[in-house]
């Protein structure tokens, strides 16, 4: 049984930037362990010489020309309006550096 401890859950949650209570850590430990146990079936498959799927339709390197595009001012205003905290045209966040 693939076991994910509550301690590992704490680490994963930090990576995923989600704060959990101790109770939640226990609950997720059980649930994630059970799911990982299920997906462990993939170990039965011999895929030594198989290449992983990159793009299911076979499309590769679809790019547009490296040209500047004219920005829609109305759209820009609508986007900035959604900012939870804002100073002029800047999204405001709490301090990052100590």
Partner 1 sequence: MTQFSNLTIEQAHKGLIKKEFSAVELTNFYLKKIKKENKKFNAFLTITEKIAMDQARKVDKKLADGEKIGSIEGIPIAIKDNILVKDYKTTAGSKILENYTAPYNATVIEGLKKSGTVILGKTNLDEFAMGSSTENSAFGPTKNPLDITRVPGGSSGGSAAAVAADECIAALGSDTSGSIRQPASFCGVVGFKSSYGMVSRYGLIAMASSLDQIGPLTKNVEDTKLIFDAICGHDDLDSTSLDYTKYKKEKREYRTLKAGVPKEYFEEGINKDVRKSVEKAIKKFEKIGVKIKEVKLPFTKYALAAYYVIMPAEISANLARYDGVKYGLRVKSQEPEAENLLGVYLKTRAKGFGHESRRRMMLGTYVLSAGYREAYYNKAQKVRTLIKKEFDEIFDLSIGGVDFLLTPTAPTTAFKIGEKKDPLSMYLSDIYTTPASLAGLPAISIPCGFIGKLPVGLQIIGPQFKDDLVLEAAMLYEQM
**Would you tell me which residues interact with partner 1 (CB under 8 A)?**
4, 8-9, 12-13, 15-20, 28, 31-32, 34-36, 38-45, 47, 50-53, 55-57, 59, 62-64, 75, 78-79, 81-85, 91, 93-96
CB of residue 94 to partner 1, shortest distance in Å: 4
Instruction: Tell me whether residue 7 or residue 36 sits nearer to partner 1 (CB atom).
Output: 36
How far is 36 from 24, CA to CA, in rounded Å? 18
Cα–Cα distance measured from residue 24 to residue 52, given in angstroms and rounded to the nearest whole number: 34
C-beta of 70: minimal distance to partner 1 in Å? 14
Closest CB 26 distance from partner 1, rounded Å: 13
Judged by beta carbon, residue 22 or residue 43, the one nearer partner 1 is 43
Whole-angstrom CA distances from 13 to 35, 37, 65 are 16, 19, 39
The answer to whether residues 28 and 9 touch, using CB atoms and an 8 Å cutoff, is yes
Query: Dihedral angle at the C-alpha atoms of 11, 16, 20, 24, nearest 10 degrees?
Result: -80
* Closest distance of CB 69 from partner 1, Å: 11
């Amino acid at each position: 049984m693939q076991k994910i401890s509550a301690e590992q859950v704490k680490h994963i949650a930090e990576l995923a930037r989600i704060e959990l209570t101790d109770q939640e850590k226990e609950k997720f430990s059980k649930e994630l362990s059970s799911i990982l146990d299920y997906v462990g079936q993939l170990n039965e498959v011999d895929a030594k010489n198989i290449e992983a799927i990159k793009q299911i339709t076979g499309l590769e390197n679809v790019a547009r020309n490296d040209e500047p595009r004219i920005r829609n001012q109305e759209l820009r205003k609508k986007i900035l309006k959604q900012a939870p905290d804002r100073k002029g045209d800047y999204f405001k966040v709490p301090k990052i550096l100590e």
